[in-house]
Homo-oligomer: A and B are copies of this chain.
Amino acid sequence: MTTALSRDPSELLDQALRRHRAALARLITMIESGGDDARRVAALSYTSPPPYSLGLTGAPGAGKSTLTDRLITASKQGWHGRGASEIEPISQVGVLAVDPSSPFTGGAILGDRIRMHQHATDPDVFIRSMATRGRLGGLSLAVPDAVRLLGAAGMPLVLIETVGVGQMEVDVASAADTTVVVVTPGWGDSMQANKAGLLEVADVFVINKADRGGAHEARRDLTQMLDLSHLGSWRPPIIETSAAVGTGIDELWATVSEHRAHLVLTGELEPRRRERLARELRRVLSARLAERVEHLSEGEDFTDQVAALVAGKTDPYAAAELLLS
């Protein structure tokens, strides 16, 4: 017997808290769709404390999915930051796979998900691809909403994996507590376009596929870039991994845990989250006002003002003034 899913966000969230995955998936679909549905989900999500969020970004083919898969396993061992107090293993992990270039959920990224084979049927792991479905504000609003939802649904850790290194992807991945930038030996060429942007958001660098050789040069390049940068109290460590064979993962997880402990101990976590929330609020404001322009452009008054412009009876500023009043 199959039970029909509710359409009520609060009922769905109750079910999600009891690990009903389809209910959680429907809530994320509501977020992707935007509008009133997304607002109702946000009203439920933002009152719970945020989960710890970990962003992974890097060029396609850098092995982010395999790395994410390994990190899920590692997270179940708990946090082991050097200098940080040990905390309990993580009960549930949420994974958001984000492809800004794909307008709909599915496609290429779903193929990638298959690579997370270890956890595809794990009841403690929730994996979901995200797309915008054309909502205003796009993924830069939908992803933070989904992170908060997963937190409200009982997940203390959310991984956000993006597909590429474009500005949008970097924005999404960097809206996390800790951002991991994944490169491969010979990475320079593939990321040239956005090197500075990546350097700015990275809390941890990973040189994946390090077993293939060339890791030394990649490390030298990254070190030079870091030496030339203005760094805060945290210098992004460079970790070598071979996600496919599983080496370097423990060190990466320890480093991520260490960054988390650093944020907590230095008191940097709170201002970081505050700045992120302020940015989200500005984005919602922009999206709302963009909706208003759309709406205004479709009205009769707009047509009248364009006619007045054609007739030389007004100018665009006076016309806008009139439409806004």
Contact = CB atoms under 8 A, between A and B. Distances in A.
Contacts of A313: 47
Contacts of A48: 312
A179 to B, nearest CB: 20
A281 interface: yes
A320 B284 contact: yes
A254 B135 CA distance: 48
Contacts of A314: 46
Interface residues of A, number: 45
A168 to B, nearest CB: 16
Q: How many copies does the complex hold?
A: 2
Q: Which of A49, A141, A281, A293 has the most CB of B within 10 A?
A: A281
A49 B46 CA distance: 54
Contacts of A278: 297, 302, 306
A315 B147 CA distance: 13
A278 B304 CA distance: 10
A48 B314 CA distance: 10
Contact of A315 (B42, B286, B310): B42
A317 to B, nearest CB: 4
B323 A285 contact: yes
B297 A293 contact: no
Contact of A309 (B46, B310, B319, B320): B46
A310 B148 CA distance: 12
A184 interface: no
Among A46, A47, A274, A323, max chain B CB count under 10 A is at A46
A306 B277 contact: yes
B43 A317 contact: yes
Q: By CB atoms of chain B within 10 A, which of A141, A286, A315 has the most? A: A315
B305 A281 contact: yes
Given A46-B315, A310-B270, A315-B42, A297 B320 contact: no
Contacts of A289: 289-290, 292-293, 324
Contacts of A176: none
Contact of A42 (B39, B286, B305, B316): B316
Contact of A49 (B270, B283, B292, B312): B312
A286 B281 contact: no
A318 interface: yes
A278 B293 CA distance: 12
A297 B281 CA distance: 9
A115 interface: no
A287 B288 CA distance: 14
B277 A320 contact: no
Contacts of A282: 293, 297
Interface string A149-176: 0000000000000000000000000000
Ranked 9 nearest A-B pairs via Cβ: A46-B315, A289-B289, A42-B315, A284-B320, A277-B309, A39-B317, A284-B316, A278-B306, A285-B293
